Structure 1
Amino acid sequence: MKKAISIGIQGFSDLREQDCFFVDKTNFIKEWWENRDVVTLITRPRRFGKTLNMSMLDCFFSNKYANRADLFEGLSIWQNETYRKLQGTYPVIFLSFAAVKAGNLEDAKTQIKQEIASLYEENRYLLEGNVLSDNERKIYNSTTIQMDDTMAQNALKTLSVWMERYYGKKVIILLDEYDTPMQEAYVQGYWDEFTSFVRSLFNASFKTNPYLERAIMTGITRVSKESIFSDLNNLRVVTTTSNLYADCFGFTEEEVFASLDEYGMGDKKDEVKKWYDGFTFGEHRDIYNPWSITNYLDEGRLYPYWASTSSNGLVSRLIRTASADVKEKMEDLLRGQTITVNFDEQIVYNQLDDNEEAIWSLLLASGYLKVQNIDYRGITLEPWYTLDITNIETLSMFMTMFRGWFKNKDANYNDFVKALLKGSLKEMNIYMNDVALATFSSFDAGKKPSEKSQPERFYHGFVLGLLVELRDRYQIRSNRESGYGRYDVMLTPVTEVDDAIVIEFKVHEPDEEETLLDTVRGALEQITEKNYDAELLAQGISADRIRHYGFAFEGKKVLIG
């Protein structure tokens, strides 16, 4: 009999008690325990089973689950007698920062204090008997949401002391979604102050804590050591490019295909692979997102389940306001090509605006891009990553993102595209001015770019929008060599029904041109003089099927000719 599919249950004990669909990942327990790392940080994309695995560790090691063999019977870990004896024998501190999403520093610290105060409420049995002195009882009862920062920063270490004294064994600390508040701190503008607070909390909990047996932190990103882990020299970092625990998070292809067979969907393997396969962890390929597979098993239809539940606001802003180079690479990715880039997998959030290469690290950690190859270059062996869009589901996420840039009710972007296709200059001018007025500032990186660079940022965003709207009818390229120079935008028709289009963008130069019309003429002359049509003519497209457009910019005003 098929087991019920549960959508959203993240507690291991709930899944097992209700006999719901579950892919056995208990080998992770053995693998982690035998590696003997004191503190482990594991990064995986959103909804890849991090919380479920942390709950599983809690149920396995915590003495609160002693005598709960029923939770693990029939699973791989239970075949090993050594681990059957280990189950339920350690004090465990398990907390999550998933809900720490605040608009300011004080609220963020308060939310963390609330999580800590809840832990103290759960363990009030420590107040019984003579485990704590009178002084310690006062400290325990003062550990509330109103505690000061210093008490909060030492609270997990203090609780470890008392639990070790009570049980006679060092504690295991499990911290889920450690980086959720980091991203919020960056987005909301209180990064420096918040990381100072968290650095002290982590140092006390994981570095200067002699009562700690082991610890695991999970998150999406590897936040730089300098930011919050500067004192943790006992930290093992496991990212998506690491081989360690590669098949412990997410479903392997074998697991997915077995599940499809079990639920009578064995004939859907090829299309499921196209949509949801493609994640790579270390050298382990063909990893699938558990959220999408579970939903697919439940509903039986192809849909971007994972992509539609992800929060892409930060990624969208970083790409939208990025330089032309980043947008050109996104254009290549959207066309099904790979890109090769150099970046540091450690993310320094407060440097994201200054170091554009960090966007690739964020996209990789988030699961939107996958690694095809890593090439170590030079005497310093700097890693160069060859990246690709992960699968059809993540492609749909990017397309929705780029389309959303022009969804402003005043933008009339779709109307502009229609006018472009039918060659109506009058309508194109009306609608493009609406688009520029409504969206121009959102492509401004916020560093007072010059009047000349602003349109460049805008038009590359505009090209990404075209790629989404017209990818079935045109091959769309930008800033590529043809003839004697580099054109701005070229639309090459897929069939003979449509005309080819060459577009040149030009900023009005008051010293050289009297009017915007002069600027348009200059753009059109450049198309001709540089022979940008050469690429199209070489493909057999006749000159009478090639249209030229010059886009002249003056501030947010646009003239097309």
Structure 2
Amino acid sequence: MAEMNPGQIQECEQKLPLPIGVSNYSLAASEYYYIDKTMMIKDFIDERPMVTLFTRPRRFGKTLNMDMLRTYFERSDKDTSVYFRDKKIWSCGQKYRDYQGRYPVIFLTFKDVKFDTWEETFAALRDIFAKEAQRHKELQSSEKCDGYSRKVYERLVNGSATEVELSSALLDLSAMLHSHYDVAPVIIIDEYDTPIQQGHSEDYYDKIIRFMRNLFSGGFKDNSHLSFGFLTGILRVAKESIFSGMNNLSINSVLDNKYSAYFGFTADEVREMAAYYGAADKYDEICQWYDGYLFGKTEIFNPWSVVSYFSNKCEPRPFWVSTGSNDVIGEVLAVADNEIYDRLTSLVNGETFTTFIDTDVIYPQIKSNPSTIYSFLLMTGYLKVLNTSLSFNGDFLCEVALPNREISLVYNKEILQRMENMIPQATAISIQEAAFSGDHKRLKSQLQMMLTQSVSFFDTVGENFYHGFMLGLCALMSGTFVTSNRESGDDRYDIQLKPIRKGLPGILIELKAGKNCSDEELKNMSEAALKQITDKKYDTEMKNAGIQTIYKYGVAFSGKNVEVAVE
């Protein structure tokens, strides 16, 4: 029998499965492809802040990292050191190993607390505390805890605690654990602000804020029964005094350098992962789609999307779009003025701008100050920072842009698609049918109707508006990838609709805009736009992809008038 060469042997080796949706550290570290983030433990031990808050966008590894901390610090009947012996933290020395398995831990995650009413939310929180209390069933009969404490524990574990009792549950549980083990516990709360965002959306914000303020005051502020604590969330809801008086709080946002490499994947980690799965040649494509975030000074890739990309046989998609709600963004857009809308549209065109970023932004500011949209977009992962400086009032002055191609597509789908409220479904379908059949007369007629019925004169001020208007329409079209202002051929096209399935046509749209144009001038502008598509070879990318039929549209606007040329 012929021997296999090393390459064939490697090809036959079973690759570790991808950790899609795996937030259990011991499982991820032992049975899946795991990118080692355990040096985060060393950095924490070296600094030892009393309470640490990490704010990052959704799906950037917050829950997995918190479970890693729980697994490392928590006392257990099992030998949990086995999950760290082959990790970087174990080679750091005995000083750091001495922390392993040393503390009782209170671990709570609020990531699924998304209910319509305060009553349902309170019931969910009470259930979460009941399950965590049950996990510490040794307290039920502990002789080191007095009778009153055991009664409090009983009410927690059977789910009968009142709102007042539940708001002191962190303090009560930590005191009992401290008494039982003679070691103060570690408290970990993952996605603490999920119920706060839901409270804002469903109009019980004041009630959830009051509860959280009391809960955190007892658990973290001057709690003598606390060794140290960790919290994660998307926003730091500091202005509501949730963390009032907590001078022991260390905050790490997307703008801070500390811990910047531990949430998301670094460039080296992605290269190594691509090589492991035999896709080293796909690194540039991964960069275009999922790179571009800057946490502190560290370049970061979206981890959810990178893992999903490999799972999808290296076919790029906007995987991140379906992982959470964008209701807050929709609310901001509902009250956005023309300047904000124009700026948001410019981002899709590849432009940047400089704006104030408030890392303490809170949900009620959306209506009272719509300009906070930029802070929300940055904190939630829809913007990246290019340059940062401090302003005179302590806020950050940041140059911002869209991070990558995925976010550009997400932007089209989740932000510009909000135009669906002003576009009747029948009209959207008619526009799509006209565009995909090359019927420029019907396309012109439908666009003309849209402009006449839905757009006020003061909105029609320049090409940026029309670009956003057309992107919004294109975002409603199914079966295509919508991209904007990307290089193809000798220049950058305005809008490209690349078909997802074979057999569908591709579409290129070049836009022109003028003021007070005559019908003849408008026609000439549309023909010039069409000629530009051909002259600049904007169809190069789709031709290289093997797309046989490509419709090219030159579209010219002036006020509420439109002209369309087609080839």
**TM-score normalized by the length of structure 2:** 0.78
* Paired amino acid for 1:318: V
Q: Which of residues 301, 311, 322 in structure 2 aligns to 1:298? A: 311
Deviation at residue 368 of structure 1 after TM alignment = 1.2
Specify the alignment match of 1:551 in structure 2. Answer: 560
* Paired amino acid for 1:155: A
Structure 2 Cα separation of the partners of residues 381 and 474 of structure 1: 35
Structure 2 Cα separation of the partners of residues 92 and 237 of structure 1: 21
Deviation at residue 313 of structure 1 after TM alignment = 2.7
Specify the alignment match of 2:229 in structure 1. Answer: 215
Specify the alignment match of 1:513 in structure 2. Answer: none
Q: Which of residues 299, 317, 324 in structure 1 aligns to 2:331? A: 317
Deviation at residue 376 of structure 1 after TM alignment = 3.0
Structure 1 Cα separation of the partners of residues 511 and 77 of structure 2: 68
Q: Which of residues 67, 73, 76 in structure 2 aligns to 1:64? A: 76
Q: Residues 106-505 of structure 1 correspond to what in structure 2 (within 5 A)?
A: 106-143=119-156, 144-285=158-299, 287-301=300-314, 302-377=316-391, 379-380=392-393, 382-402=395-415, 404-407=417-420, 410=425, 412-413=427-428, 415-416=430-431, 424=441, 463-467=467-471, 469=474, 501-502=512-513
CA contact (8 A) 2:258 2:296 kept: yes
Structure 2 Cα separation of the partners of residues 498 and 197 of structure 1: 52
Specify the alignment match of 2:504 in structure 1. Answer: none
Q: Which of residues 72, 76, 80 in structure 1 aligns to 2:88? A: 76
Relative distance call for 1:161 and 1:546 in structure 2 (3 A) is closer
Relative distance call for 1:70 and 1:432 in structure 2 (3 A) is same
Query: Where does the alignment leave 5 or more consecutive residues of structure 1 unmatched?
Result: 444-450, 477-490, 505-522, 553-561
Deviation at residue 103 of structure 1 after TM alignment = 0.8
Structure 2 Cα separation of the partners of residues 140 and 547 of structure 1: 70
Q: Which of residues 53, 56, 72 in structure 1 aligns to 2:65? A: 53
Relative distance call for 1:475 and 1:254 in structure 2 (3 A) is closer
Partner SS state of residue 425, structure 2: coil
Partner SS state of residue 63, structure 1: coil
Relative distance call for 1:129 and 1:176 in structure 2 (3 A) is closer
Deviation at residue 493 of structure 1 after TM alignment = 10
CA contact (8 A) 1:276 1:391 kept: yes
Query: Where does the alignment leave 5 or more consecutive residues of structure 2 unmatched?
Result: 1-12, 476-480, 487-492, 497-507, 534-553, 562-567
Deviation at residue 396 of structure 1 after TM alignment = 1.0
Relative distance call for 1:415 and 1:151 in structure 2 (3 A) is same
Structure 2 Cα separation of the partners of residues 493 and 4 of structure 1: 37
**1:216-256 CA deviation, whole Å, 9 max, x = no partner?**
00011122343422232221111000001010111110011
Structure 2 Cα separation of the partners of residues 303 and 540 of structure 1: 29
Structure 2 Cα separation of the partners of residues 228 and 323 of structure 1: 31
Structure 1 Cα separation of the partners of residues 189 and 394 of structure 2: 33
**1:253-291 CA deviation, whole Å, 9 max, x = no partner?**
001101111111111111111111111100112x11111
Deviation at residue 135 of structure 1 after TM alignment = 2.4
**Correspondence 1:24 to 2:36:** yes
Calculate the aligned-residue CA RMSD, in Å. 3.7
Structure 2 Cα separation of the partners of residues 475 and 92 of structure 1: 50
Relative distance call for 1:176 and 1:99 in structure 2 (3 A) is same
CA contact (8 A) 2:192 2:232 kept: yes
Relative distance call for 1:234 and 1:546 in structure 2 (3 A) is closer
Structure 2 Cα separation of the partners of residues 550 and 298 of structure 1: 47
Structure 2 Cα separation of the partners of residues 9 and 155 of structure 1: 28
Deviation at residue 434 of structure 1 after TM alignment = 6.6
Structure 1 Cα separation of the partners of residues 62 and 74 of structure 2: 18
Deviation at residue 343 of structure 1 after TM alignment = 3.0
Partner SS state of residue 237, structure 1: strand
Structure 1 Cα separation of the partners of residues 278 and 485 of structure 2: 39
**1:296-331 CA deviation, whole Å, 9 max, x = no partner?**
223322222223323223213322441111111111
Relative distance call for 1:311 and 1:320 in structure 2 (3 A) is same
Structure 2 Cα separation of the partners of residues 73 and 163 of structure 1: 28
Q: Which region of structure 1 is more displaced relative to structure 2, 246-255 or 144-153? A: 144-153
Specify the alignment match of 1:483 in structure 2. Answer: none
Percentage identity across aligned positions? 30
Q: Which region of structure 1 is more displaced relative to structure 2, 171-180 or 97-106? A: 97-106
CA contact (8 A) 1:411 1:436 kept: no
**1:345-381 CA deviation, whole Å, 9 max, x = no partner?**
112211211112211111111111100001334x445
**1:70-105 CA deviation, whole Å, 9 max, x = no partner?**
111110011122222321010110010111111112
CA contact (8 A) 1:324 1:460 kept: no
**1:169-210 CA deviation, whole Å, 9 max, x = no partner?**
111000000010111011111112220111111111110311
Structure 1 Cα separation of the partners of residues 41 and 81 of structure 2: 15
Q: Which region of structure 1 is more displaced relative to structure 2, 426-435 or 186-195? A: 426-435
Relative distance call for 1:472 and 1:16 in structure 2 (3 A) is closer
Structure 2 Cα separation of the partners of residues 20 and 275 of structure 1: 24
Q: Which region of structure 1 is more displaced relative to structure 2, 3-12 or 387-396? A: 3-12
CA contact (8 A) 1:100 1:180 kept: yes
CA contact (8 A) 2:460 2:466 kept: no
* Paired amino acid for 1:28: M
Structure 2 Cα separation of the partners of residues 161 and 9 of structure 1: 32
Relative distance call for 1:130 and 1:371 in structure 2 (3 A) is same
Relative distance call for 1:32 and 1:434 in structure 2 (3 A) is same
Partner SS state of residue 73, structure 1: coil
